[in-house]
Amino acid sequence: MAEQSLDIDFDLLVTDAAPVDLVLQRMGRLHRHLRGGVGQLERPDRLRTARCLVTGVNWASPCRSRRRARWRCTGSIRCSVRSRCLQPHLAGRPVTLPDDINPLVQCAYAREVEVPDGWADAVAEARREHEAVLAHQRARAGAFCLDEVRAPASH
pLDDT in tens, 26-54: 888 877 777 777 777 888 888 888 888 88
Looking at the DSSP bridge assignments, the partners of residue 12 are 51
**Domain coordinates of the chain in residue numbers?**
12-143
Confidence of residue 139 (pLDDT cuts 50, 70, 90): very high
DSSP assignment of 13-54, as one string? EEEE---HHHHHHHHTTBT-S-SSTTTTTTS-GGGSS-EEEE
Confidence of residue 140 (pLDDT cuts 50, 70, 90): very high
Give the list of residues 6+ apart from residue 65 with CB closer than 8 angstroms, or none: 77, 121, 122, 125, 126
As a whole number, the mean pLDDT across the chain is 76
Query: Are 146 and 86 a contacting pair, CB within 8 Å?
Result: no
Query: Are 53 and 14 a contacting pair, CB within 8 Å?
Result: yes
What pLDDT was estimated at residue 145? 85
What pLDDT was estimated at residue 28? 84
What pLDDT was estimated at residue 56? 76
